[in-house]
Structure 1
Amino acid sequence: MRDIPRSPTSPAFWRSPLRGPAFTSVLGLVLLVGVTVLFVTGLLSYAAYNPDLAAVNDKTPDKGLLGFYLFDWPTDPHWLYRLTQGVHVTLGVTLIPVLLAKLWSVVPRLFELPPVRSVTHALERLSLLLLVGGGLFEFTTGVLNVQLDYLFPGSFYPLHFYGAWVFIAAFVSHAALKVPAAMRNVRRMRRGEPEVAGDGAYGDETGAHEEAGGPHGGAGGPDGTARTLVAPCPDPPSVSRRGALAFVGGGSLLLFATTAGHSFDALRGTALLAPHGGVEPGPGPNGFQINKTASYAGIRAAETGEDAWRLVVTGPTGTVRLSRAELGRLPAHTARLPIACVEGWSTSDQEWRGVRLRDLAALVGHEGRAPDVFVESLQRHGAFRHAALRSNQVADPRSLLALHVNGAPLSADHGYPARVIVPAAPGVLNTKWVARMTFGRL
């Protein structure tokens, strides 16, 4: 019986025959594509809030140069945010097995001795710390926020935003160093060639292993064995590396199957691991997904009644106060639009009916070019009690102050007496229980 070292700093401590450059390289290339898509869709999600429009839209102030890419969020296609945020959340959950398998495959590298051999090596180790720590932080906070509904109120947005930039900086520098070797390893695996120790998608690829006089030489632990991804004393294999990759892929497929349905009405019952993945909230025209209920938001029935509620609309020519009945006598329009949430879930297109935002702007002196608008809600609890919409959103003929949905008056949970609905906007900007709208310079 072989004597198994007890210290993880010894290469012989790591005995899995699955670890190797090819296994790690395949996972790394999958993450290269997946993380790139995650980062881009994350940036798009942030831009969709129009954070440079008004302070109430920006949950990440003082972003400085990190906001260089921001642009006026469009209203076409009307399902844009439904697509980008659905991909962001679903892909993030789907990649979890790949990320965990990748970290497992390279964990011996984290224990190599000496921990720092040169300034260059110290910088590489620092980037590695940021890469591993940043990846775990981003995936963990993202999943917790999605599953537990605003787990970090008031702080999740900046934490996730700044964490993403730290992670992507380390990721890009790591990928620049490792992608060529990863491609070589995958080609070797496909040709059935033996793995080359030290030429992995992770670790020292300078040839130091050759200088030490053998495939397991090089700067390593106290026993002089190289820090390679191939175990020097592997246990007998119980599964092939291809089988292990298939297992990881199967895990990702399972998570995809139990998450993706949150964006499709017919499949919503399959979204066991996604928020709002259960049955629809009741039958009838208002029987589609919601985020905040009227009870959660602190809405009181007495203040939304016909005698009590008035919409206050303000612009350059003054202020008008409109009851729900008076709004109902204004020209009504219909738009078929979805609700899409930052948590990744969305609804199919619902048929909304109400008054165009640009027509309300015209009532208070904004004829012609539509202005920006500041919307205030009766909501007392939760984020985004107020929101700003850009002029292009106000101008879109499908942007409504909705009074009805699917042929019926709005329910309390869907924003009665009136709510905003705008094409391609995040759900939180489609303000419910609207009390006041101020058109003009914000």
Structure 2
Amino acid sequence: MKRLPVPDEERFTAAAHSPRVTARVGLWLAITFTTCFVTGLLSHLIQHPPEWFLWPSRPIWLYRVTQGLHVVAGVASIPLLLAKLWSVYPKLFGKPLVRSIPHAVERLSILVLSAAAFFELTTGLLNVAQNYPWTFYFPQVHYAVAWVAIGSILVHIAVKLPVIRRALTRRPADDPEPPSAGLSRRGFLRTTWLTAGVSVVATAGATVPLLRNVSGLSWRTGNGTQGLPVNRTATAAGVVQAAQATTWQLSVVTSAGTRTFSLAELRALPQTTAELPIACVEGWSQSAIWRGVAFPTLLTAVGAQPGATVRVSSLERSGLYGVSVLPGEHTADALTLLALELNGEVLDLDHGFPCRIIAPSRPGVLQTKWVSKLEVW
């Protein structure tokens, strides 16, 4: 088999391979990747909160925005990463492989950065499409590799800082860009920005309602049962029989004891109607009209204090999110509902009948469906 020739760095003289191009694309890639990291870290902390972490219930759209930014920034990072790698492609095969200790650190950081970035973007893209061709637990692995990626970015920037500073300095008017074959530096950069922009517009409709009709590659729309998409059906959760049983009751456990409510008794309590978005970790979000019992009302009815932490248990026993915890910031909020209706109709079975949690500024995976028990701490 004929071996492919190793690229000769001296033959790649196009403007696309200049340090000025690499630095500018790298700057934007650093911005999108940092946005991804920070918003992803927030999502992780909301789902697995340490004692010191506080996530507010207002504004109601806060998680919708942060997680939407997470996915949009990830999509924009894909063409930026490819453009960045193309701009340094000849240097990846430069000889000798190691010239000095800083050079060795630089090459190692590039290797780790490239591998971690490709892993994060590829698995993230498959996750938003709900396609899981792997056996590992995605949230934990994605979170761990994110730290590797951001760490390698910081190392790479530290090593290349002098080169980056020179490359980002505006070229003097008496020192024009040297002629080269192919696209000019500005042409390559414009093409990169355009590609990244098209990628975002083509997919952002999943989280930006104004773009929903023009995002041809959006993975979620407003279509679905009761006008809302469904990630996990009642059949998949194995709760159909238990949720439809006439003997279903909600148990509310407090320090004073346990009180049970039938569905009719829940409906007899004062009801609150609110328009709230449901925002999924995959980046899609959709607003809907919910009606049910506000948590302050429910807690007061059982003699508990609004603002107490509440452990929520679902009829679903085998799922990863069959149990969630509502912090005090949310149980004190009058817009946190034990929802009984959706868009003017009784909750569909796939949306959590007989009742579900809908709280402002919370990930969809924590908006527990098919609720069976509430434990007040």
Partner of 1:223: none
Aligned-pair distance for 1:259? 1.1
How many residues end up aligned between the 2 structures? Answer: 375
The Cα shift of 1:321 comes to 1.9
8 Å contact kept, 1:22–1:186:
yes
Q: Which residue of 1 aligns with 2:192?
A: 248
Compute the displacement of 1:388 (Å). 1.1
Which string of whole-angstrom CA distances, capped at 9 and with x for unpartnered residues, describes residues 104-140 of structure 1?
A: 1112222222222333332232222222222112111
**Secondary structure in structure 1 of the residue aligned to 2:349:** coil
Contact 2:252 2:373 in 1 (8 A): yes
Question: Which residue of structure 1 lines up, in the alignment, with residue 238 of structure 2?
Answer: 298
Partner in structure 2 of residue 324 of structure 1: 263
- 8 Å CA contact 2:32–2:76 kept in 1: the answer is no
- Root mean square deviation of aligned Cα: 2.6
Question: Does the CA-based 8 Å contact 1:263-1:345 persist in structure 2?
Answer: yes
Specify the alignment match of 1:207 in structure 2. none
Q: How does 1:83-102 map to 2 (within 5 A)?
A: 83-102=65-84
| 2:109 matched residue in structure 1 | 127
Superposed, 1:213-224 pairs within 5 Å as none
Q: Do structure 1's residue 184 and structure 2's residue 166 form an aligned pair?
A: yes
1:356 corresponds to which letter in structure 2?
A
The correspondence for 1:71, drawn from 50, 53, 56, is 53
Corresponding position of 1:281: 224
- Amino acid aligned to 1:354: G
Say whether 1:334 aligns with 2:260: no
Q: Which moved more, 1:336-345 or 1:311-320?
A: 311-320
Answer yes or no: is the 8 Å Cα contact 1:8–1:14 preserved in 2.
Answer: no
Matches within 5 A, 1:113-262: 113-149=95-131, 152=134, 155-189=137-171, 191=173, 193=175, 237-262=181-206
Q: Residue 22 of structure 1 is aligned with which of 20, 23, 35?
A: 20
Question: In structure 2, what is the equivalent of residue 209 of structure 1?
Answer: none
Quick check: 2:15–2:21 contact (8 Å CA) kept in 1?
no
| Aligned match of 1:229 | none
CA distance in 1, matches of 2:125, 2:252: 39
The TM-score, its normalising length taken from structure 2, stands at 0.90
Extract unaligned runs of 5+ from structure 1: 54-69, 197-233
Match for 1:296: what amino acid?
Answer: A
Which segment drifts farther, 380-389 or 27-36? Answer: 380-389
Farther off after superposition, 400-409 or 175-184: 175-184
Shift of 1:413: 1.7
Give 2:246's aligned amino acid. D
**CA–CA distance in 2 between the matches of 1:115 and 1:28?**
22
TM-score (norm 1): 0.78
User: What residue in structure 1 maps to residue 32 of structure 2?
Assistant: 34
Q: How far is the alpha carbon of 1:171 from its aligned partner? A: 0.7
Inter-partner Cα distance in structure 2 for 1:33 and 1:122:
25
Q: Distance in 2 between matches of 1:40 and 1:6?
A: 41
Amino acid at match of 2:260: R
Q: 1:409 aligns with which of 346, 353, 363?
A: 346
- State the shift of 1:399 in Å: 0.8
Q: CA deviation at 1:370?
A: 2.8
Say if 2:292 is the partner of 1:354.
yes
| Residue 315 in structure 1 maps to residue 250 in structure 2 | no
SS at match of 2:289: strand
Structure 2 residue matching 1:387: 3-state secondary structure: strand
Give distance in 2, aligned partners of 1:15 and 1:351: 59
How much does 1:380 deviate? Answer: 4.8
Question: Which runs of no fewer than 5 residues in structure 2 stay unpaired?
Answer: none
Offset at residue 97 of structure 1 (A): 0.6
Pairs within 5 Å for 1:368-379: 368-379=305-316
Question: Which protein has the bigger helix share?
Answer: 2
Letter of the structure 2 residue corresponding to residue 372 of structure 1: T
Partner-residue secondary structure (3-state), 2:285 = coil
Comparing 16-25 with 391-400, greater Cα deviation is found at 16-25
* Structure 1 residues 41-84: Cα deviation after superposition (integer angstroms, max 9, x where no partner): 1111112224336xxxxxxxxxxxxxxxx611111111000000
Report the equivalent of 1:344: 283
| Structure label with greater radius of gyration | 1
CA 1:337–1:241: 2 relative to 1, 3 Å: same
Secondary structure of the structure 2 residue equivalent to 1:95: helix
Equivalent position amino acid for 1:41 in 2: T
Query: Are the aligned partners of 2:335 and 2:359 in contact in 1 as well (CA < 8 Å)?
Result: yes
Question: In structure 2, do the counterparts of structure 1 residues 325 and 434 end up closer, same or farther at CA, with 3 Å as the change threshold?
Answer: same
Cα distance change of structure 1 residues 176 and 130 upon mapping to structure 2, 3 Å threshold? same
Shift of 1:288: 2.0
How far apart, in 1, do the equivalents of 2:291 and 2:250 lie?
A: 17
Distance 2:86 2:280 in 1: 33
Q: Tell me if structure 2 keeps the 8 A contact 1:81–1:425.
A: yes
* CA distance in structure 1 between the aligned counterparts of 2:135 and 2:335, rounded to whole angstroms: 31
Structure 1 segments of 4 or more deviating over 6 A? Answer: none
Give yes or no for the alignment of 1:264 onto 2:199: no
